[in-house]
Amino acid sequence: MKSVAFPAKIANLSFPSGCSSLFFSPALPCRKLTKGTRGVGGLMSQCLSSSSQSLSSLSNSFSSQPESELLQALPSSKPKSPPPQLPWLIVGLGNPGKKYQGTRHNVGFEMVDALANAEGISMNTVNFKALFGKGVIGNIPIMMAKPQTFMNLSGESVGQIVSFYKIPLKQVLVVYDDLDLPFGKLRLLPKGGHGGHNGMRSIIDRLKGSRDFPRLRIGIGRPPGKMDTANFVLRQFNRQEQEELDYTFQTGIEAIRILLLEGINKSATFVNTRKSMEQLS
């Protein structure tokens, strides 16, 4: 057989790896090259087809890798953690010392004590001029305080706590006695004035005149006959009154739980439509 003479243009062509086998592989039958561009174009078409198959094979090798392996190759970006939840502050108003224990003016103290006992929160720390405690109700962090400044200066303690922990006023619940409510009756409001109560007056003054904080009022009733109001609020409860007051505290505990976990509207509905023990009997 005569040897084939390659034109100079074809002899100088550079083919991709693997395409040379089209010409020199012993497995392929020898055939004469067609003159002109058609024969060269056909060979180039086969080479390009071979390269395309190689790229397709490479692409398939990536797609066959597990997604987890591909993700590991990407830069990791950790999601930002949410800001810490600010606590609620629950303040009970009263006067310190044994002399005033169990008196009408101290029902705010007693309500906070009942809540602390129910939730297992210790109130033995003295801080911010108050008996102070920290805990959690559900998943809500809370702080509890009983100012030891005497009633008329309660704002000194409350103002310091609010300022130090940057507590929003809508998360400051003040619990105190109210002469205008029937004995044992509870009333929860999202805001309001001091109503002549010196402890509330002091707190509003220390909060720069703001009244936009919730309050839980506990009714102690009006003094009988011509009894002086100051003497009445410092008088202790009799046995029957204490039993009814214990029922009121249990209602108050449930109301505070609802307030923290479900909001003030639902809590106010629960409290403000609840009947006292005297009305139930």
Q: Which residues are catalytic?
A: 105
User: What distance in Å separates the CA atoms of residue 212 and residue 162, rounded to the nearest whole number?
Assistant: 13
User: Which residues fall within 8 angstroms of residue 165, CB to CB, at 6 or more apart?
Assistant: 86, 87, 89, 143
Residue by residue, what is the 3-state secondary structure of 128-176?
CCEEEEEEEECCEEEEEEEECCCHHHHHHHHHHHHHHHCCCHHHEEEEE
Residue by residue, what is the 3-state secondary structure of 157-226?
HHHHHHHHHCCCHHHEEEEEEECCCCCCCEEEECCCCCCCCHHHHHHHHHCCCCCCCCEEEEECCCCCCC
* Chain-centroid distance, C-alpha 153: 32
